[in-house]
Structure formats: C-alpha cells, structure tokens
Chains A and B, each alone.
Chain A
Amino acid sequence: MLRRPLKLMGLFLKVSVLNVAAYRFDMLVRVFVSLMHLVADLGSVWIIFHNTKSVAGWTAAHMMVLVGVFRIVAGGIRILIVPNMRRVLEDIMEGTLDFVLLRPVNAQFLVSIREVVVWRIVDIVLGAAVSAYGCYQLNGHVPIQSVFLFVLMLSAGFTIVYCFWLMLATLCFWFVRIQNIEMVFWNVFEAGRFPIQVYPNWLQWTLTYLIPLAFITTFPAMAGSGDPTKISPQIVLTAIFMAVLMFVLSSWFWRIGLKRYSGASA
C-alpha cells in the first residue's frame, strides 16, 4: 500500500536533483551560507553560556541539542514544506491547480511532494551533528533510546508544522493573495530558537497549545538530551495526539477549500 506513495516521492526527489544539477555554483554558495548560519547560532549560545551556567534549567550542552533541532526543523521546512506550499499558492492563484486535480492521485499528497529543495539536506546533516554532539557532551555517549525518542518527537513536530502550513495554504482558496503569510510564519518560528521555559507562563502555554511551537523544537530537544527524566510520557503522547489531530483537521480543511476552488479562468 505504501509502495506507490514512496515511489512517487522518490520520483519527485529525482526530478529535483535533475533541476538542481542545472545550477551547481548557486548550490555551493547556498551551502556556505547555511554553514554560516549555524556558526552564528552556535556563537550566540557560546556568548550566553560564557556568562552563565544555565538558562531556565538548560545548560550549554542542552542548548546545543536545541540549536541542532532548530536547524533540522528549519531545514526540513525548507526542503519540502515551504517550496510545496509556495507552489500551491501559485497554482491556486493562476488556476494551474487544475493539473493536480486531474491526476489519479490524492491531491493533498501530490501538492505536498512535488518540490524538493535537495541541497537543504545540508541543514539536516549539520543540525543532526550538532544535536548529537550536545547529547554526547551530556551523556558521554549517544543512547539509542534517546535517538529513537528524538526521531519520534521530531516527526511529530514536523507533522504539526506541515499541517499548520497546509492550513495556511488552504486559506488561499478564500483570500487568493496571501504570500506574505510566510513572513509571519518565520517570525513566529524564530521564537523556537529558545527553550519555551525561558518565556513567562502565559506565553509558555500559548506556545504549547495555541501555536504548538514547543512540540516543534523544545520537546524534541528535550527528548534528544539523553535524559529520560527530562521528557515525560505525557508530553510524548500529547505530541503524537497533536500531530494526528492537526493532520485530520488540516486534511478536512483542505478538502473544504478544494470545493471552493474554481480555477482562475472559468
């Protein structure tokens, strides 16, 4: 049952590689910029912990895990989510979504996998390396169960971001021009650079339940710290529940939006 979706994902990955191959130098520059971003992130952590031992219960090594997570998630968003959602917005505006709807494949699935910005995988590799190094500093090794929990929590977080984006893109069926919403997203996402524990209570609550940013960066980072007491089963279950709920909700919303779609030229 999963064979065909995987085959299609592989296919679009391949097409993206073909597209990228046309612009090699551009890619080198981008990889370099990506590396610089990571250095800047680590630099700010170093400056903070040069002055203090811990921030809201987070030590420098813990923070490194979080910096890594932030890179991984931001990378993931830029590999798949943002490019695909940008294209959906374009397609809805220009009426080219017709071609998606004509295909004998689930439309939501198809619009979510068409674009893959391959070189951004660099972000995931670098982020994973930094997280792993942080975990190693905390524990002296990288425990396998924490890797498992880390991947699980990251997947939940990533699903939540995806659903959030899908809902934003779906709004386009009603409002047509909403490209600027991407800026709003990145500005809010910036708050995920820091563990939510540094924020006042009301904001912590908001960032957990209203805008579930905590599930996207802080909780995966806690899971990846290698200390099982850091993350309760309750948080893990809530994360999974949130991911499933968001997925159901966003798919439903998408289908409602599709019904409204009328194409640019009728």
Chain B
Amino acid sequence: MPQIDVHNLTKTFKVPEREGGVGAAMKSLFRRKQKEVHAVSDVSFSVAQGEIVGFLGPNGAGKTTTLKMLSGLLHPTSGSATVMDQVPWKRDATYLRRISMLMGQRSQLQWDLPATDSFYVHSAIYDIPKDQYQQTLDELVALLDIGGILKKQVRTMSLGERMKCEICVSLLHRPSVLFLDEPTIGVDITMQSRIRQFIGEYNRKHGATIILTSHYMADVVALCKRIIVIDHGRILFDGQLDALSEKLAPFKVIKIDLDRDVGAYDFAALGDVLVRESRKVELRVPRANAPGVAEQLLSQLPVQDLTIEDPPIEHVIEKAFGTKLEKAVDA
C-alpha cells in the first residue's frame, strides 16, 4: 500500500478576467467575466513510504496546487487522493498532526519574537509532550546548527537563518510526510547544500516520505532519485532521474583547455561545438562516443585540461519537453 496515492486529481480555478483600461474596469463592476484555469488536470501517481520525490516544472505548472491539495488546504475539483490512508482535505486533526508543509516563500514564525517563542507556540498547538518536544528541539537545533540564533528576533535574522528556523518549526511534531515547497528559495549556495543535507538526513533517520518542489535542479539531483515533471497541470514524466537524463539527454559535454591556439583544427567533425575560443573549447558529443573523442583530442592536441560532464538538467528538460525553463529558474 503506497503512502501517498493520487488518482486523476484535478483542480480548476475560476479567476476574474478583464481587459485593461477604465471602460473595462467599469464594465466589470457589473458583469464579471470568469476564466477557468486548469491548474492541475488528471494527475495520478503514488509514493512509497520513505521515498523522496522531486516535483519539477516551470512556474504555474501546478506543483504547489498539487501539494496544497495533498496537505488539505485545497479541495480538488475532481479525483481522489489518500495520504497514509486518509483523505487530506477532510483535514482531520490526526492527519494534520502527521504531516507538515513548508512554504519557502512564506513565514510561519512570529515576526517580533525570538524563534524559541514560535517553537513553543507550535509545540502547544500540536500538543507535543514536554520531554519529547525538548528532545526533538535539541536534535533539530544541533542538526541545523541554530543554537546561536534561537534568541534572536525573527525580523532581524538573515534569510538563511530564518529558513533554518522555518524548517525546524515545521519538523517539531515529527511529521511522517513532508511537503516542501521551495525549501531553498533565496538562500545562498552553501546554505542550500546544508539544507539539502539536512532534509536527506531527516528522511534517513525518520523514514519520512517527502515531496519536494524546487527551482534549483541541484536540490532535486542531490535528494531525489525519482522525479515527476509537471507542466500545465499535467504529468510529463514520472520515473528515475537517471532514466530521464539517460533517455532524453544522450549527450556528454567535453570541455578542454589548450596550451596554445590550434588554428583551423576541425572540432565540428567530432561533435556540436558549444564554445570555441582560442584556448578553450566545449563540445557536445553522443554519450557513447565520449571516450573515443576524448582520446582523440588528448592524442592530437596540446590539451592542458579535459573534463567530461553531463549537460545541466535544465537543458535536459527543456530539450525533452520544449518548456522554457528559464521561466522557472529566475522567477
């Protein structure tokens, strides 16, 4: 029995719509045009206990809407879902006690008070026994390394510090299922990798099931073996991350630095030339040819340095599904 089981989940929003300008605004006072937005259409998947699944897709793809339905915040228009054998949107207290949803863009901490006070309020709302609370808190504080900032007013924290506290507060009741919506948004690279490490550790230690959405491919690559690609509310791909890049990006990128300019050497015969400078060249070659090409380059040219890399996953998805991922990356 999967821990999260979703069948044909669909959510359609009705949003008011009008043209720009005064005339249209006056008209809309009396008659509102409504437009249907299919945020999520006919989505089905299941997740086993202890699995970490990454949701990928550009903004407005339906990732957050799906998470919101699974955490009971939204009623679906149609379809069904069970999480730990319960229907999320019934919002039963026993269900809510066992899940957590973290929204990277919103804060659930008390702005004017030190983080400890927010933690305490949370523990009271979830009715966490005192000794268990203390134990969990100690553990989380050590893992997240936030011992030094607990007494700091939340409004004076840096974004990274605040995010760690947000993560801490959402794990205080030891949820078995975690929905993480952009948990690393806005924080710097080192902090991103620490948060990632921590999420992985929590998953291993408590066997928690995690669904994660992110704009940063590195998050997904580091944490999720399985990914679900969503766009326009539909699932485009559901499977192993390796399979995705294997199947859809059968290329390697070879980068070389040269001792000197090699003039008219015909790189194009070896593969697609991505970069061609006097002493720096990047080639995209079919995966199978990569070793051969590398060998040829090394034997024929004064190579100073050579690397063979997978293409960035943004390109993988863009190539595979024709979605412009820059939208997602910079928004």
A18 sits at the interface (CB 8 A): yes
Given A4-B127, A19-B113, A99-B108: A104 and B96 within 8 A (CB)? Answer: yes
Given A259-B75, A263-B68: A98 and B126 within 8 A (CB)? Answer: no
Residue of A nearest to B95 (CB): A104
Given A22-B112, A102-B101, A104-B97: A95 and B125 within 8 A (CB)? Answer: no
Given A102-B72, A103-B125: A266 and B117 within 8 A (CB)? Answer: no
B124 engages A266 (CB within 8 Å): no
B13 sits at the interface (CB 8 A): yes
A101 sits at the interface (CB 8 A): yes
Residues of A within 8 A of B222 (CB): none
A8 sits at the interface (CB 8 A): yes
Residues of B within 8 A of A103 (CB): 96, 125-126
How many residues of chain A get a CB closer than 8 Å to chain B's CBs? 26
B91 sits at the interface (CB 8 A): yes
Residue of B nearest to A105 (CB): B125
Interface residue SS majority, chain B: mixed
A54 sits at the interface (CB 8 A): no
Q: How distant is A132 from chain B, measured CB to nearest CB, in Å?
A: 35
Given A15-B110, A15-B121, A19-B113: A105 and B64 within 8 A (CB)? Answer: no
B125 engages A15 (CB within 8 Å): no
Residues of A within 8 A of B94 (CB): 104
CB proximity to B under 8 Å, residues A18-38: 18-19, 22
Interface string of A72-111 (1 = CB under 8 A from B): 0000000000000000000000011011011111010010
B71 sits at the interface (CB 8 A): yes
Q: How far is the CA of A7 from the CA of B39 in the complex (A)?
A: 40
Residues of A within 8 A of B71 (CB): 102
Residues of B within 8 A of A110 (CB): 125
Q: How distant is A247 from chain B, measured CB to nearest CB, in Å?
A: 21
Q: How distant is B124 from chain A, measured CB to nearest CB, in Å?
A: 5
A263 engages B124 (CB within 8 Å): no
A266 engages B108 (CB within 8 Å): no
CB proximity to A under 8 Å, residues B211-258: none
Residues of B within 8 A of A259 (CB): 75
A18 engages B39 (CB within 8 Å): no
A12, A105, A266: the one contacting B68 at CB < 8 Å is A266
Residues of B within 8 A of A98 (CB): 68, 73, 101, 103, 106
B68, B105, B117, B125: the one contacting A18 at CB < 8 Å is B117
B106 engages A11 (CB within 8 Å): no
Categorize the interface residue count of chain B: 20 to 34
B74 sits at the interface (CB 8 A): yes
B65 sits at the interface (CB 8 A): yes
Interface string of B85-125 (1 = CB under 8 A from A): 00000010111110111010110101011000100010011
Q: How far is the CA of A265 from the CA of B124 in the complex (A)?
A: 28
B93 engages A104 (CB within 8 Å): yes
Given A102-B73, A266-B68: A19 and B124 within 8 A (CB)? Answer: no
Q: How far is the CA of A165 from the CA of B43 in the complex (A)?
A: 39
Q: How far is the CA of A19 from the CA of B106 in the complex (A)?
A: 21
Q: How distant is A108 from chain B, measured CB to nearest CB, in Å?
A: 12
Q: How far is the CA of A98 from the CA of B87 in the complex (A)?
A: 17
Interface string of B69-83 (1 = CB under 8 A from A): 001111100000000
B96 engages A7 (CB within 8 Å): no
A262 sits at the interface (CB 8 A): yes
Residues of A within 8 A of B126 (CB): 103-104
Residues of A within 8 A of B64 (CB): 265-266
Q: How far is the CA of A259 from the CA of B39 in the complex (A)?
A: 17
Q: How far is the CA of A155 from the CA of B94 in the complex (A)?
A: 32
Given A103-B125, A105-B125: A15 and B13 within 8 A (CB)? Answer: no
Residues of B within 8 A of A104 (CB): 93-97, 125-127
Residues of B within 8 A of A266 (CB): 11, 13, 39, 64-65, 68, 74
- A residues within 8 Å of B by Cβ? 4, 7-8, 11-12, 15, 18-19, 22, 95-96, 98-99, 101-105, 107, 110, 259, 261-263, 265-266
- B residues within 8 Å of A by Cβ? 11, 13, 39, 64-65, 68, 71-75, 91, 93-97, 99-101, 103, 105-106, 108, 110, 112-113, 117, 121, 124-127
Supply 22 A–B pairs (Cβ within 8 Å), ascending by A: A4-B127, A11-B121, A15-B110, A15-B117, A15-B121, A98-B73, A98-B106, A99-B108, A101-B73, A101-B91, A102-B72, A102-B73, A102-B101, A103-B96, A103-B126, A104-B94, A104-B95, A104-B127, A105-B93, A262-B13, A263-B73, A266-B64
Seed contacts A11-B124, A102-B72, A266-B68; 7 additional CB < 8 Å A-B pairs:
A7-B124, A19-B112, A22-B112, A99-B108, A101-B72, A103-B126, A104-B126
